[in-house]
Each structure stands twice: as C-alpha cells, then as structure tokens.
Amino acid sequence: MTVLVYTAIALGSLVFVIASAARAVLYARSPMHLRWELYPVPHEHPDRVSHGGSYFEQSEWWKQPRERRFRGELAVMVPEVLFLKALREHNPKLWRRSFPFHGGLYLLAGAGAGLLVLAAVSRLAGTAWLDGAAGHVARWTVAGVGAAGLALAVSGALALLHRRMQDPALRAFTTAGDIFNLLFFVMALGTLGAGYAARPPGSADALGIAIGILSWDASVQVPRVLAAGLVATAALAAYIPLTHMSHFIGKYFTYHAIRWDDAPFGDSRKMSVALAASLAQRPTWAAEHMKADGHSTWADVVTTNPTDEAGR
C-alpha cells in the first residue's frame, strides 16, 4: 500500500508538471497574433498608467524611447495572483468564496514544498535536527500552513459549490463537470485532512511520509484513510491541468501575451520572421470574396482586391 501511495504521488506530480508544461508550450508556440491589447497596460510609463494611457498619447510616438517597466507589471500581478484582485473588484460576492479556496490551495502548495525541503534536508543531514528548536518551528509551521490550507480549500470549494447551485446565473452555465470538479476538491482534500487528523498514534506523520517518498522506504506505515486522501489528491493534481482549471497557465498568456502585448512591430526581426511565416500560410476560407483557394498564400489573398474584375 505504501508503494502504491508513493507511486500515485509521483505519477500525479509528474502528470501535473508535464500536462501544465504541454499546455504552456501549446500557447507559447501559437503564431504571432494581431495586436489586441486592453488598457491599462501596467508596464507603461507611470504617468500614463494612472489613467490607462499608452505610448500613442505621445506625439510621434515612434521617435520616443519605449519604456517597459516590469515593476509596473509586478504591481498588478502580485495582488492579482495572491489576492485575486480583479475578482474582488468586479465580483466581491464570488471573491469571498473563491479567495479562501485559492488561498487554501496556495497554502497547501506551500506546505507541500516546505515538506519536501524538510525531507530533503533530513535525508542529507539526518533527522536529529528535527528535535531541536529549529526543527520544531519548521515542522509546526509546515503543519500549521498545511492544516489552514486544507481547511480553507475545502470550505472554499463547498462555498463555491453552494453558490453555483444557488445563483441562477451560475447554475444555468454549470455543467456536470463543474460540479464534479468542486466535489473532487472537497472529497480529495477532505479525505486527506480527515485521514491525517485521525491517523493512529505512532503512524507516520507528513514529514515521515515525505522522507519515505524521497527514500522510497516501503516500511513507512500510511494509514488507510490517509492513503486514500493522498492518492485522491495526487489524482486531483494530475486532473487539474487537463481541464479549464488550468487557468493559472492560461492567465499568464491572456495577460502578458494579449492584454498587455502592446509591442509595436518596429524593426523587430523576430516579428518580421513570424509575420513572413504566417503570410506564407495557405488559407482555405470558402467565401467568394476571400479568394482563398488553398493554393494562394495569405500574402496573395490580402493583396487581391476582390472587387477587381480580374480578381473574380
């Protein structure tokens, strides 16, 4: 059973990483799109960011040095990622449910990472330090963060589920999958929490299991309910990037590659190459005015006047 748990955790983590990366690569490799930005764009000059302005507000903007302030992006990204700022501003009712849920997941991820660090240190330096003051602080911090994360994530998921069922506007757009997704969180994390809280005296704690995974120590005893919670959570981790819940990946692109992508073509060689490649594509749109026969390239199509007699 212990090996089964280890295998599930390893596989779940692997699928999560690979599927997330694959999704990111799919988006990153999409062809350069036409500009479609949305203001305010936070990397603009601070004088303009305050009112949502762009470099187009400058006369002869192409002669002006273009600023791209990463600090400005950070000032938007950090509160957005950590506190779901846009949701708080535009949908506070939902934010009161969504923030605990997401905050709980962040804490859980933090606790998981903390456990791995502690386990790795213990593997390298031995476990004696864990009985010292630093070890106690580290263990209790991780345990506290993990417990808070579980409680927030489960209660947040339940609150989201309740709202989804109660609010007619949300209910009309809710699929069986949406309900399943939230129940999956409740079930997996709830079992994990219950299994951990109810584990018999003397059985392995979280750090013990983490050390066991790193050393693949099959002698570690994982109680059944806790094992079920760990396997379910591993399955959940593998499932997330396969669904729309992978918006933590999509959001990077919707913000950085679309809303904030105000890069002018200028003399960019990268853009020139990308545009040349796209203009060489052969569209097959069927409408008469498109003049796209599958042989003509986009460059041919857009330089054809569909109203010319010769173009008919």
Partner 1 sequence: MTRRARMPDMARRDREPLFRVDPAALPPLSPEPQAPPRPVSPARVASGAEGYDLDGTRVLALPNPTSPEEEDALVRAFLSGLEKLFSRENNWTFLQPLLLSMEHCAHCQTCSEACHVFESSGRAEIYRPTYRSEVFRRLYFEYVKGGGLISAWQHGTVELNWPLVARLAELAYRCNLCRRCAQTCPIGVDNGLIAHEIRKLFSQELGIAPKELHAAGSMLQLKSGSSTGMIPAAVKDNVQFIDEEMTEKTGLAAETPWDVEGADILLIHNAGEVLAWPENPGAFGVILNAAGVSWTMSSDIAGYDSVNYGLWYDDAQLARVALLHAEIARKLNVKKIVIGECGHAHKSLLVVADRLLTGDLRVPRESALTVLRDIVVSGRLRLDPGRNDFPVTLHDPCNMVRLMGVVEPQREILRRVCPQFREMHPHGVDNYCCGGGSGFAIMSGHGFEDWRSDVAGRKKLQQILDAFSDCLSTSIPKYVCAPCSNCKGQIRDLLAHHGAWKQHRILYGGLAELIVNAMADVRPGFIEWEWR
Residue number, 140 or 285, with CB nearest to partner 1 = 285
Residue number, 178 or 191, with CB nearest to partner 1 = 178
65 makes contact with partner 1 (CB under 8 A): no
The residue count for binding partner 1 (CB under 8 A) is 88
305 makes contact with partner 1 (CB under 8 A): yes
| Tokens read off for 78 | 């950090």
| Contact present, 121 and 142 (Cβ < 8 Å) | no
CB of 275 to partner 1, least distance (A): 6
162 makes contact with partner 1 (CB under 8 A): no
Q: In sequence order, which residues have a C-beta less than 8 Å from that of residue 1 and are 6 or more positions away?
A: 222, 224, 227
48 makes contact with partner 1 (CB under 8 A): yes
Write out the DSSP string of 142-191: HHHHHHHHHHHHHHHHHHHHHHHHH-HHHHTT--HHHHHHHHHHHHHHHH
15, 77, 87, 157: residue in contact with partner 1 (rule CB under 8 A): 87
Check the CA dihedral 212-214-216-222 and report its sign: positive
CB of 104 to partner 1, least distance (A): 17
34 makes contact with partner 1 (CB under 8 A): yes
What whole-number distance in Å separates Cα of residue 307 and Cα of residue 109?
60
Q: In sequence order, which residues have a C-beta less than 8 Å from that of residue 232 and are 6 or more positions away?
A: 184, 187, 188, 191, 192
| Contact present, 79 and 85 (Cβ < 8 Å) | yes
Residue number, 144 or 311, with CB nearest to partner 1 = 311
Q: In sequence order, which residues have a C-beta less than 8 Å from that of residue 10 and are 6 or more positions away?
A: 213
Residues 261-300 within binding reach of partner 1 (CB under 8 A): 262, 264-265, 271-272, 275, 278, 281-292, 298
Q: Which stretch binds partner 1 (CB under 8 A): 10-18, 130-138, 207-215, 239-247?
A: 239-247
| Contact present, 187 and 232 (Cβ < 8 Å) | yes
Residues 164-223 within binding reach of partner 1 (CB under 8 A): 167, 169-170, 172-178, 180
CB of 218 to partner 1, least distance (A): 34
Residues 97-136 within binding reach of partner 1 (CB under 8 A): 98
53 makes contact with partner 1 (CB under 8 A): yes
243 makes contact with partner 1 (CB under 8 A): yes
Q: How many residues does the chain have?
A: 312
